[in-house]
Structure 1
Amino acid sequence: MRFQGKVAIVTGSGKGIGKSIIQKLVQEGALVTVTDLNKETCEETAREILQGGGKAIAVAGDVSKAEDARNIVEKTIEAYGKIDILVNNAGVLKDSRIKDMEEDDWDKVIDVCLKGAFLCSKYASAHMVEQNYGKIINISSRAYLGNPGQANYSSAKAGIVGLTRSLAKELGKNNINVNAVAPGLIETDALKNHPKYEKIKELQKKDTPIQRIGLPEDVANAVLFFASDDAAYISGDILHVSGGRFG
């Protein structure tokens, strides 16, 4: 197993894409910290992992708050003694046209998606530097190329690209790889519950060279590649998981 004995934190892993990522890490031997804003989903995912024979702790928190981000890292160190892998997956959407976008909606998306990744990377990388090893994988989005009605989200995800490349250059000398995964539209429970789900799904198939909607497992597989030593000489890269759709 690729991650036997490795310790991983995945933010926003109580459900959706983050849950798929953390489950796949556990399947390949990782010891994990499940963290999510929602305490119940966070603890439920950790419970499922433990019941399946894996090793997990649950640490609920808001990654956009420094004290919570620090606590997630500290609890992981207390439980396992190290951190090998950090996946910055936590995110939020507050979509609207720019003329209608409230300042709070801008701030919330930037804080969770971008500031959260900065804070978790700040605290986790300090331990990675000490051990001269680490993998940081940031979840960006195809939206970093720009989407109407998503000025806040697109800006945050473009910021993730800049953060990824800056940290790759800064931390490379410490044997820390930093990469990003940029998913397209992914079939999460939230999307399935959208009132226009079927229409969205058909449009996605029409506009995507690989004519299907993406699955959480597609994103998880890309993350696990970057988290593995198969990607030991890759850093600062952005891997699109969008079925060939870039524009």
Structure 2
Amino acid sequence: MITVTTCTTFCPNFAGINNNNMSDSFESKKVIIAGGSSGIGLATAAKLAGEKAHVTVTGRSAARLADAAKAVPGIHTAALDSGNRKDLDAFFDARGNFDHLVIAVSGSKGAGKFADLSLKELRDGFEGKFWAQVNTLQAALPYVNKGGSITLITAISAISRAPGVSGLAAINGALELMIPSLAKEIQPLRINAVSPGVVNTPWWDFLPPDAKNDTFGQYAAQLPVGRIGEPDDVADTILFLMRNGNITGTVIRCDGGLSL
């Protein structure tokens, strides 16, 4: 005979718990997306705007920002060079406190076989992504509300063993290595990173259209998921990390299995 005991004194009332660490809504939350004028950043802005967040996206290109504002009505835009610390300090000081920061700033330099890799190109790659993200993070830190989050966008090249990506691995790996230590330093503020694989974004526009399509087809054929990623795939992962108050110091791979 099985006896079912109703727990009163010692069993917690899980149904009555108010989980303050998980917010189901971004409504009225203030979010800044650095490098949000296209690709993954813009897809994230669109999803957050759809949840009634107050979203500001930054970028260097006024034309791309104008296109972003048309694509996602209701977002705010600000022309800002994430490599310029003076302008970053002024920007965040003018904005004041906010709830979530997404750093999607990226660059296109640093790829190539190491023997032929221009070290100037590699330095430029660090300036375009590593230093731009670190500058943005440090300038923003005093203004991010303690119940909020910071999410960096890195890349799967950080752990890739493929030929020709050692420079990109250095740039993205350096960012990812900072995440666990920073999580302990800035607690209870949370910081995480999302590491995309091959994603259909303007980053690939250095290739002619036919070459880009061929490259995407080759990757799709070898990926376990059978396709390359889309910006929305990565944006969903970013929102998951922003929403979940019990995750910090973590890098999530959103790569279609490229790293397997």
Q: Same fold (TM over 0.5)?
A: yes
Q: Corresponding residue for 1:212?
A: 227
**Aligned 1:1-247 pairs, distance under 5 A:** 2-49=25-72, 52=73, 54=74, 56-77=75-96, 82-94=97-109, 95-128=111-144, 131-146=145-160, 147-172=162-187, 175-191=188-204, 194-228=209-243, 231-247=244-260
* CA displacement, residues 58-86 of structure 1 (integer Å, 9 cap, x when unaligned): 21122122123223323432xxxx21111
Question: 1 or 2, which has the higher helix percentage?
Answer: 1
Count of aligned residue pairs for this structure pair: 233
- In terms of Rg, which structure is larger? 2
Is the contact between residue 209 and residue 245 of structure 1 (CA under 8 Å) also seen in structure 2?
yes
Shift of 1:25: 1.2
Shift of 1:22: 1.0
Is the contact between residue 85 and residue 139 of structure 2 (CA under 8 Å) also seen in structure 1?
no
Shift of 1:140: 1.0
The unaligned stretches of length 5 or more in structure 1 are none
Shift of 1:96: 2.4
Percent identity of paired positions between Structure 1 and Structure 2: 24
- Provide the rounded CA distance (Å) in 2 between the counterparts of 1:240 and 1:59: 29
TM-score for the superposition, normalised by structure 2? 0.83
Over the residues paired in the alignment, what is the CA RMSD in angstroms? 1.9
